[in-house]
Amino acid sequence: MPRRNWPRSACWGSDAAPRGVRMIARRAVLGGLASLAPAAAYGFSLDVGPITFPRGETTQGGWAQGQAPKGWQVALDGAALPTDLFGRFLIAFDRDAGPVAKLTAFAPGGTQPHGVQAVLGLDIAPRAWRIEQINAPFRPPAIPEGEYARIRAEEVARIDAARRTDSPSEGWRQQFIWPVKGRISGLFGSQRVYRGTPGAYHTGSDVAMPAGTPYLAPADGVVVLAADKPFTLEGNLLMIDHGMGLVSAFLHSSELLVREGERVSQTQPIGKVGMTGRATGPHLHWGMRWREARLDPMLFAGPMA
């Protein structure tokens, strides 16, 4: 999917606003009633919103980096968002996100329902998803069903705990790079069918490369999970927290080159391509997640050159 080119000065309500971020509601509220006066009093106009988006794409599986006035509070669909010292924040949208998301910005000291706020609706562009036939069993056939359920529950608990780690990293602000470049063998979001059994959609981008090929950190971060033995599906799993709730996962590795708790820098070798876990050939699966939203790595790193 081609990326939209966003003007760096784009903001809601301006003629420069990008197609992918169309505001569908905007108001200042005082005492629960829409009013023009509070907006002027607090230094922003109803014609030009207080939040700008210099980077990103509001589409299913997409993301946007926002900029709020320093000291403002920001929430997406009612959930508070952290901001850095300069008012920057991150929002992202699940593969199955609905058509509209609501972002609310509060001036310093503003609280619902009586504080001054800007309420803005964002259009989330839909995408079409492929169906892929995979010549692999739905689950490892060598493991009895009851044993598999027990092992898998432990693995999922460890993955969930890693995702909840809040690491002090600024990697989320960087321009991401591809961990390895090669043939794209699996697209994010595709519905997968395993030898006739429908499975979940594909949660990342697959890059086919020979086993043992080193792959690199796509951005700065902190290692929050480095498997000490292969997981049933993911194989040798590596997870890196880029900050602000944004986490990368790298699956099927033949070898991991970093340890849990280690800080990594963009372009640092962190693992080697393999086919551990559920895989039909050597490749790197790169998945990304922001909070509970599963994201398309291609929208972070761009088309592979």
DSSP classification of residue 11: B
Question: What are the distances in angstroms from CA 166 to CA 182, 222, 246, 247, 290?
Answer: 32, 10, 9, 10, 12
- Per residue in 166-192, pLDDT (tens digit) is 888 999 999 999 999 999 998 998 887
- pLDDT score recorded for residue 119: 81
Count of beta carbons in the 10 Å neighbourhood of residue 226: 22
- Per residue in 192-227, pLDDT (tens digit) is 777 777 777 889 999 999 999 999 999 999 999 999
Asked whether the CA dihedral 74, 80, 86, 88 is positive or negative, the reply is: negative
Count of beta carbons in the 10 Å neighbourhood of residue 136: 14
- Measured in degrees and rounded to the nearest 5, phi and psi for residue 191 equal -75, 130
* C-alpha closest to that of 233 among 285, 190, 182: 285
- pLDDT score recorded for residue 267: 98
Gyration radius of the chain over CA positions: 21
- Terminal CA-to-CA distance of the chain, rounded, Å? 14
* pTM for the whole structure: 0.80
C-alpha 165/C-alpha 73 separation (Å) is 22
- pLDDT score recorded for residue 123: 92
Question: What are the distances in angstroms from CA 118 to CA 52, 121, 174?
Answer: 13, 10, 28
- pLDDT score recorded for residue 140: 67
Residue 259 buriedness (CB in 10 A; 0-12 / 13-18 / 19+)? exposed
C-alpha 193/C-alpha 199 separation (Å) is 6
- pLDDT score recorded for residue 84: 94
- pLDDT score recorded for residue 280: 87
- State the alpha helices, DSSP H only, in the chain: 37-41, 145-163, 298-301
- pLDDT score recorded for residue 42: 25
C-alpha 81/C-alpha 231 separation (Å) is 32
Query: For residues 256 and 236, is the Cβ–Cβ distance under 8 A?
Result: yes
| Residue ranges, the chain, pLDDT below 50 | 1-48, 113
The partner residues of 188 in beta bridges, in order of sequence, read none
